[in-house]
Amino acid sequence: MRISDLIAVKRLHLRFLAGAEHAQRDIRWAYTTDLLEPARYLRGGELVLTGMMWRTGPEDSETFVSSVRGAGAVAIGAGTALGEVPGDLVAACRAHEVPLVEIPAETSFGAVTEEVLRSLTQRRFTTIAETRDRHRRLMADVASGADFPHAFASAAIQAGIQAWMISSTGRSIASSGTPLSAAEREHLSAKALTWSSFPHATRAAEDDRTFTLLPVRAKESHPLAGWLMVVAGDHTTWSEEEHETVAELVSVGVLSRSREEERALTTARHLEGLPRLLAAQRFDEVATLMSGVGDNGAFDDRTHVVVSATMLPEPRVPDLARRVVTELVAERPGAVVTGDNDALAVIPVGGPDHRAIGEALRVDLVHRAGVLEPALLDYRLAIGLSSAAQGITELRGAAVEARHARRLAELRGGRSRVIAGAEIDSHELLLASVPEEVQTSYRERLLGPLVEYDRDHRSELVETLERFLDHSGSWQRCAAAMHVHVNTLRYRIGRVEELTGRDLSNLEHRVDLFLALKLRD
């Protein structure tokens, strides 16, 4: 309640002695004390009631008022049961801009406290009712298809809080305040991926502002493909009403997130036959299938890039790779994703310079996957991109190229790896297209004897072979680079040839061992 509301209660007979110009301040609580310095017992917003038993001299008024003001109390109520309010207390209150209210002898502190509590309780019940009504309306609006960013912003502004909804990659979803920069969003998202408990308060990357982050957990959601709510301020200082408002916005976010996930899953299921139809070159059926999704009605004439992605080892969470890829391409209009742990995305691109567009897409995916890396401790994310495919007939080749690029991304390692088909060297493309069991057999057959010999004799035949091939078979340059005598190098290479059955003066045999070493890498 406001101080003016309390003064207006006639039966209490209260009046201002100082600070009437601050009558609109809100009272959060009433606290009675006769301590000279009560600051450590105050939390802010109190009406401090006192019988002035702390006063032994004029200087005590300054000490008392300074302590009360420093703790954030909004007003002082001085009782006159033991005597009139001294002028030095009135002066101290004026100096510190603290309203001073006289409580006459016939009015007890208990009556004043009771009135404050009655008003606060009534306000609390009213706030609860208003919050519930607002929550029901907001949930109904979002459930019926209302624009989530607009509904979120309106509700947050009405509640008087600054809040933002962002994704696991730092993508902006909704906002009620000054937009966060991309760097701030990505910084907050990356940090949140390492936390196990919420709400969690942290500072922004670019300034000293404090934010509180809360997860928006839909059914079977995962942090790698989830949403976060960011609220200005530290949650430990929020009032009960602020906590309820934030919880309300989170629940609306959960509803919106669930609806978005359902739409993505429906699209994925609709397109689950796409890889098979592309492999069979049944392009009429592909066009029909794609025309029923999003804005792909003019599919035949459009240019697309295909993305193939997987997570290793296969996640225990169903469909996680598909959901992660859906998040990575969420800002690409018309993009569709299907599959599960072998996800396939088809992304429309425009403009005359398809190569530049493909490179921009690769850079964007590398950047967004990098934001997710703090949460990829148990997994690796491998992504392959095709070159731009013009029309439906080139889409099959693009899908094959994307899968080969993805297999190469798997071979190269790293928590996240994005490879574009256009950047693949010829031998790497060949290796990526070979089944893993064939790769393993080939590598072990050629290099196994060398690895075993090195282990038993503590020698360096594998390294010597690699350095020899790196120097194109030049004895002098290789020996100099390894800091060994040429005769030592000739002896080692002779052992390599003996153990592998290959002649390193023969180009084909060199290629065999070169490819085996690449598979080992």
Predicted confidence band of residue 154 (pLDDT cuts 50, 70, 90)? confident
Average pLDDT over residues 321-333: 94
What is the reported pLDDT for 52? 95
What is the reported pLDDT for 432? 61
DSSP single-letter state for residue 2: B
Residue 64: pLDDT over 90: yes
Question: E strands of 327-456, at which residues?
Answer: 336-338, 342-349, 380-385, 389-390, 416-420
Question: E strands of 290-390, at which residues?
Answer: 303-312, 336-338, 342-349, 380-385, 389-390
Average pLDDT over residues 349-358: 75
* Top CATH class, 146-265: alpha beta
Average pLDDT over residues 117-122: 83
Predicted confidence band of residue 245 (pLDDT cuts 50, 70, 90)? confident
Report how far residue 251's alpha carbon sits from residue 520's, in angstroms, rounded to the nearest whole number: 50
What is the reported pLDDT for 144? 72
Average pLDDT over residues 223-231: 94
Instruction: Report the mean per-residue pLDDT for the chain.
Output: 88
Average pLDDT over residues 39-66: 95
% of residues, the chain, pLDDT over 90: 58
What is the reported pLDDT for 135? 61
Q: Which tens digits make up the pLDDT trace of 134-149?
A: 666 666 776 677 788 9
% of residues, the chain, pLDDT over 70: 92
Predicted confidence band of residue 518 (pLDDT cuts 50, 70, 90)? confident
All CATH 3.30.70 domain ranges in the chain, comma separated: 292-433
Report how far residue 501's alpha carbon sits from residue 495's, in angstroms, rounded to the nearest whole number: 10
Residues in the chain: 521
Predicted confidence band of residue 441 (pLDDT cuts 50, 70, 90)? confident
Three-class SS of residue 331?
coil
Q: Report long-range pairs for 152-157 (Cβ below 8 Å, ≥24 apart).
A: 152/176, 152/249, 152/252, 152/253, 152/256, 155/248, 155/249, 155/252, 156/245, 156/249
CB atoms within 10 A of CB 88: 16
What is the reported pLDDT for 7? 94
Average pLDDT over residues 361-389: 92
Residue 472: pLDDT over 60: yes
Cα 253 → chain centroid: 14
All CATH 3.40.1390.20 domain ranges in the chain, comma separated: 3-117
Show the tokens assigned to 47.
């009406």
What is the reported pLDDT for 400? 87
What is the reported pLDDT for 355? 74
What fold, for 292-433? Alpha-Beta Plaits (3.30.70)
What is the reported pLDDT for 267? 92
Question: Contact at 8 Å (CB) between 344 and 181?
Answer: no
Please name which of 171, 175, 183 lies closest in space to residue 330, comparing C-alpha atoms: 171
Average pLDDT over residues 455-479: 93
Average pLDDT over residues 430-451: 81
Mean pLDDT check: name the lowest of 18-32, 365-379, 416-430: 416-430
Residue 185: pLDDT over 90: yes
All CATH 1.10.10.2840 domain ranges in the chain, comma separated: 436-520
Look-up: residue for tokens 């008024």? 61
More confident: 143 or 34:
34
> In CATH terms, is domain 3-117 a member of 3.90.79.10?
no
What is the reported pLDDT for 174? 94
Find all residues with CB under 8 Å of 194, minimum gap 6, and list them: 374, 375
Q: Look at phi and psi of residue 44 and say left if phi exceeds 0, alpha if psi is from -120 to 50, else beta.
A: left
Average pLDDT over residues 423-433: 63
Three-class SS of residue 106?
coil
Mean pLDDT check: name the lowest of 115-129, 327-341, 361-375: 115-129
What is the reported pLDDT for 112? 95
Show the tokens assigned to 298.
């003019």
Report how far residue 158's alpha carbon sits from residue 102's, in angstroms, rounded to the nearest whole number: 36
What is the reported pLDDT for 148? 87
Residue 352: pLDDT over 90: no
All CATH 3.30.450.30 domain ranges in the chain, comma separated: 146-265
Report how far residue 169's alpha carbon sits from residue 182's, in angstroms, rounded to the nearest whole number: 10
Residue 127: pLDDT over 70: no
Instruction: Enter the CATH code of domain 436-520.
Output: 1.10.10.2840
Residue 83: pLDDT over 60: yes
136 burial via Cβ count (<10 Å: 0-12, 13-18, 19+): exposed
What is the reported pLDDT for 15? 95
Residue 300: pLDDT over 60: no
Find all residues with CB under 8 Å of 492, minimum gap 6, and list them: 459, 460, 461, 464
What is the reported pLDDT for 186? 93
